Amino acid sequence: MNPPAPGTAGDPGTPPAPGAPVPTGVTTAPGMAGTAVGGQGPARPVWALAGVVPAAWLAVFAGTLATGTTLRAISRDLHLVSAQGMTRIVLPYLVAAVLLLPLGYLLGRRAPNAVAVPAAALLVIGLAVAAFAPNATVLTVSRVLAGIAAGALVGTAAALVVGVAPAMRTALAVVAGAGAVLAAVLGVVLGGLFTTQLGFRTGFLFALVLGLIVGLAVAVVAVVGLARRPPQRPAVPRR
């Protein structure tokens, strides 16, 4: 049996016609849409991670910001004993983040922008409340808000990384994971530095400024994603 002539439909080197389905397992160039995990629809473009992943890093940074030297300063200034500092400042963030992480991943696979935009806004609100909290109770509420935002953002970021084309998935996973680890370390280091020099609220104000920046990035990516979405074809009624 003779092989198909070059340029014909059966030639392996011939790209599929416009609108033709892409076979499972076939990927395109890095940064372009290929096949998602298991061939379930087109892969996410790399630029879709530009807002959510930095927002997830900031959420991790906000989590470790209230530890070490900063936590001791909070306990002193807001009249908490050491055990109360852990239970009222650290644990509320951790519990909220862990509980929301699976939900953020599941919802982020279907509608990442619908999760990331309100989560980024919630993170900004939590940081603002923490920066100006008059007492420990208000600060606890701010930590719960930041934890909810962290779980949603980290879960959505993980879903987007898993959903990119296989050729880029491993590299992006390494970058996202390394960035999260670095953000956690910087939260402790910078938080202690700000607290020592200017007080614990300065660290939250710094994170708030970053939150406004990454929140804007999340919103821009969401708008671009909506603009690039192909129009839905009207359903043809069956006769």
What confidence tens digit (pLDDT) does each residue in 101-131 have?
999 999 999 999 999 999 999 999 999 999 9
pLDDT, position 122: 97
The pLDDT-based confidence of 5 (bands split at 50, 70, 90) is: low
Q: What is the pLDDT of residues 174-191, one digit of tens each?
A: 999 999 999 999 999 999
Average pLDDT, the chain: 83
User: For a pLDDT cut of 70, what percent of the chain falls above it?
Assistant: 78
Rounded to an integer, the average pLDDT of 179-207 is 95
Stretch among 29-33, 154-158, 197-201, 218-222 having the lowest mean pLDDT: 29-33
Rounded to an integer, the average pLDDT of 140-155 is 96
The larger pLDDT score, comparing residue 203 to residue 84, is at 203
Whether the predicted pLDDT of 61 surpasses 80: yes
User: Hunting for tokens 């590299």 — which residue is that?
Assistant: 171
pLDDT, position 112: 92
Sorted by where each begins, the domain ranges of the chain are 46-226
pLDDT, position 232: 61
The pLDDT-based confidence of 33 (bands split at 50, 70, 90) is: very low
DSSP conformation class of 47:
G
- Rounded Cα distance between 120 and 142, Å, is 14
Q: Which CATH architecture does the domain made up of 46-226 adopt?
A: Up-down Bundle (1.20)
What are the helix (H) ranges across the chain? 49-65, 69-77, 82-85, 91-110, 112-131, 136-163, 166-198, 200-228
Q: What is the pLDDT of residues 64-104, one digit of tens each?
A: 999 999 999 999 999 888 778 889 999 999 999 999 999 99
Alpha carbon distances (Å) from 48 to 61, 94, 156, 159, 189: 21, 27, 11, 11, 30
The pLDDT-based confidence of 59 (bands split at 50, 70, 90) is: very high
pTM of the model: 0.77
